[in-house]
Amino acid sequence: MADGTAKRMMQSGQPERIVSGQAFDEDARIELSVRPKRLEEYIGQKRVKENIQIAIDAARSRGEALDHVLLYGPPGLGKTTLAQIIANELNVLIKTSAGPLLERKGDLTAILTSLEKKEVFFLDEIHRLQPAVEEVLYPAMEDFRLDLIIGQGPGARIHPFPLGHFTLIGIVHRLDFYEPADLLIIIHRSAKILNIQMDEGGAEEIAGRCRGTPRIANRLLRRARDFAEVRAAGRITRAVAQEALQMLGVDAHGLDEVDRNLMIALLDKYAGGPVGLGTLAAALSEEEDAIEEMYEPYLMQIGMIDRTPRGRVATARAYEYFGRDLPKRQPRLF
Ligand SMILES: Nc1ncnc2c1ncn2[C@@H]1O[C@H](COP(=O)(O)OP(=O)(O)O)[C@@H](O)[C@H]1O
Ligand SMILES: [Mg+2]
């Protein structure tokens, strides 16, 4: 475990956070076995699931391609899983790409023109698409048509190229953080598949610390198992899970060092805010994007941080959690 971490740090220059929703290599390996393959195995996200079930049933009964499904949300919540489930349920192949991989218009055109009728195309991280590439994508989605430009300069012609009614799973369903009850089901399911012994207390402890994210739940489960095998006869109890996760720097709310540094800077250095994103990022030597996309969503979800027009503020809950006295006068206007 320690070796793997060192290696990853050397490759990226940045340590990977155990509570990151982003997939690591080891996640990719394990996800093959624990990832649900049918819609009925997909836990939680009730509203999204119902909508997708209806769309699948309708497409099936009409023998047509599925309407475009757009899924988005923080990493690790089940977008890729859902895309693959849709392809499985419709019995079609799936082609995958991601926003940052499509550098030029031609990259997207090449994929779109290679799609077979009704094939599912999963485009991940759609918010990272270049504007020039978006221009190609939207007509393709709306009319199943691609405008190919043939020739150059004044002689260039636009040829509409019909696409065989593909289903694009781009990324307008927002996946949200999971409820504790759903996380418990996911954790028990994974433990069973991976042959891990665990009691209810152990599962609850992992559910409480996984930031509402199945990928993190599965990762913490594996780490707790490693610890249990070495120190506790292989069984994950509440005490074993607590000790294992504390050793990894993950606290009872799933916060790690990075989150704590952010909260402590906000509370102590900036008197609870409001402080602008840029200032906070500079104080932590982090990218603004990283704070906005990776750290804040969960801190907001659990009510530690608020975003206001004047900047980020720490909530009363944050003062309490970090053992700071609430300022008598709220640092608001006037
Ligand atoms: N609804 C779910 N039910 C059960 N397991 C899930 C669910 N959503 C995600 N997972 C688990 O979390 C892992 C990561 O999900 P993934 O679809 O790759 O996330 P994303 O694409 O949103 O980053 C999957 O391999 C799967 O094991
Ligand atoms: Mg994914």
pLDDT tens profile 219-272: 999 999 999 999 999 999 999 999 999 999 999 999 999 999 999 999 999 999
Task: List the CATH number of the domain containing 191.
Answer: 1.10.8.60
Taking 70 as the threshold, does the pLDDT of residue 292 lie above it? yes
Higher-pLDDT residue of 289 and 213 is 213
Sign of CA dihedral 249, 254, 256, 260: negative
Dihedral angle over CA of 320, 321, 324, 327, nearest 10: -40
CB atoms < 10 A from the CB of 19, how many?
A: 27
Q: Which of 83, 275, 64 is nearest to 169 (CA)?
A: 83
User: Tokens 């939680």 map to which residue?
Assistant: 44
Q: For a substitution probing ligand 1, which of 81, 97, 206 has the most ligand atoms within 8 Å of its CB?
A: 81
Q: Which range, of 4-13, 111-120, 189-198, 244-253, averages the lowest pLDDT?
A: 4-13
- Region 98-115: mean pLDDT is 89
Residue 23 CA: nearest ligand 1 atom is 23
Taking 50 as the threshold, does the pLDDT of residue 334 lie above it? no
- The ligand placed nearest to the CA atom of residue 85 is 1
Ion ligand 2 — residues with CB < 5 Å:
79-80
Confidence band for 307, pLDDT divided at 50, 70 and 90: very high
Residues 81 and 151 reside in one and the same domain? yes
Residue pair 274/308 in contact (Cβ under 8 Å)? The answer is yes
User: Which of 174, 192, 209 is the last residue in one of the domains?
Assistant: 174
Residue type, 102: L
Residue 7 lies in a domain: no
Q: Which of 216, 218, 219, 213 is nearest to 77 (CA)?
A: 213
Confidence (pLDDT) at 9: 42
Diameter of the chain measured on Cα atoms: 75
- Region 67-74: mean pLDDT is 81
Q: Residue 210 Cα, ligand 1 centroid: separation in angstroms?
A: 13
Residues 126 and 187 reside in one and the same domain? no
Residue 310 lies in a domain: yes
Q: Residue 144 Cα, ligand 1 centroid: separation in angstroms?
A: 29
Residue 10 lies in a domain: no
Distance set, CA 104 to CA 124, 131, 133, 136 (Å) = 16, 10, 6, 10
Beta bridge pairs of residue 160:
147
Residue 73 CA: nearest ligand 1 atom is 22
Residues 57 and 137 reside in one and the same domain? yes
Residue 97 lies in a domain: yes
Residue pair 137/129 in contact (Cβ under 8 Å)? The answer is yes
Residue 190 CA: nearest ligand 1 atom is 27
Q: Residue 22 Cα, ligand 2 centroid: separation in angstroms?
A: 8
Q: How far is it, in rounded angstroms, from Cα 94 to Cα 91?
A: 10
pLDDT per residue as tens digits for the range 201-222: 999 999 999 999 999 999 999 9
State which residues form the domain around 211: 180-247
Domain count, the chain: 3
Q: Residue 230 CA to chain centroid, in angstroms? A: 31
Confidence (pLDDT) at 7: 42
This prediction has a pTM of: 0.84
Task: List the CATH number of the domain containing 297.
Answer: 1.10.10.10
Q: Whose CA is closest to atom 13 on ligand 1?
A: 215
Q: For a substitution probing ligand 1, which of 27, 33, 35, 122 has the most ligand atoms within 8 Å of its CB?
A: 35
Residues 53 and 152 reside in one and the same domain? yes
pLDDT per residue as tens digits for the range 171-198: 467 888 999 999 999 999 999 999 999 9
In this prediction, what percent of the chain has a pLDDT beyond 70?
Answer: 93
Residues 129 and 227 reside in one and the same domain? no
282: helix, strand or coil = helix
Beta bridge pairs of residue 235:
197
- The ligand placed nearest to the CA atom of residue 74 is 1
> What sections of 197-306 are H helices per DSSP?
200-209, 214-231, 238-247, 257-264, 277-284, 288-290, 296-301
Confidence (pLDDT) at 58: 87
Q: How far is it, in rounded angstroms, from Cα 245 to Cα 220?
A: 7
Residue 31 CA: nearest ligand 1 atom is 25
In this prediction, what percent of the chain has a pLDDT beyond 90?
Answer: 51
Q: Whose CA is closest to atom 12 on ligand 1?
A: 215
Taking 50 as the threshold, does the pLDDT of residue 3 lie above it? no
Residue 36 lies in a domain: no
Residues 166 and 104 reside in one and the same domain? yes
CB atoms < 10 A from the CB of 308, how many?
A: 10
Taking 70 as the threshold, does the pLDDT of residue 6 lie above it? no
Cβ-Cβ contacts under 8 Å for 294 (sequence gap 6 or more):
20, 21, 22
- Region 103-115: mean pLDDT is 88
Q: Residue 315 Cα, ligand 1 centroid: separation in angstroms?
A: 30
Task: List the CATH number of the domain containing 63.
Answer: 3.40.50.300
Residues 51 and 139 reside in one and the same domain? yes
Residue 191 lies in a domain: yes
Q: Phi and psi at residue 167, in whole multiples of 5°?
A: -105, 115
User: Which of 174, 201, 217 is the last residue in one of the domains?
Assistant: 174
Burial letters for 132-151: b for 16+ Cβ neighbours within 10 Å, e otherwise? Answer: ebeebbeebbeebebeeeee
Residue pair 38/88 in contact (Cβ under 8 Å)? The answer is yes
Residues 84 and 161 reside in one and the same domain? yes
Residue 39 lies in a domain: no
Confidence (pLDDT) at 11: 45
Q: How far is it, in rounded angstroms, from Cα 251 to Cα 259?
A: 10
User: Which of 194, 220, 247 is the last residue in one of the domains?
Assistant: 247
Confidence band for 330, pLDDT divided at 50, 70 and 90: low
Residue type, 277: L
Residues 200 and 292 reside in one and the same domain? no
Residue 71 CA: nearest ligand 1 atom is 22
Residues 166 and 68 reside in one and the same domain? yes
Residues 156 and 204 reside in one and the same domain? no
pLDDT per residue as tens digits for the range 124-165: 888 788 898 888 888 888 777 777 777 777 777 877 777 777
Residue 20 lies in a domain: no
CB atoms < 10 A from the CB of 127, how many?
A: 9
Residue pair 166/69 in contact (Cβ under 8 Å)? The answer is no
**Ligand 1: which residues within 6 Å by Cβ?**
31, 34-36, 42-45, 75-81, 186, 214-215, 218
Residues 170 and 218 reside in one and the same domain? no
- Region 82-102: mean pLDDT is 90
- What's the whole-number average pLDDT of the chain? 87
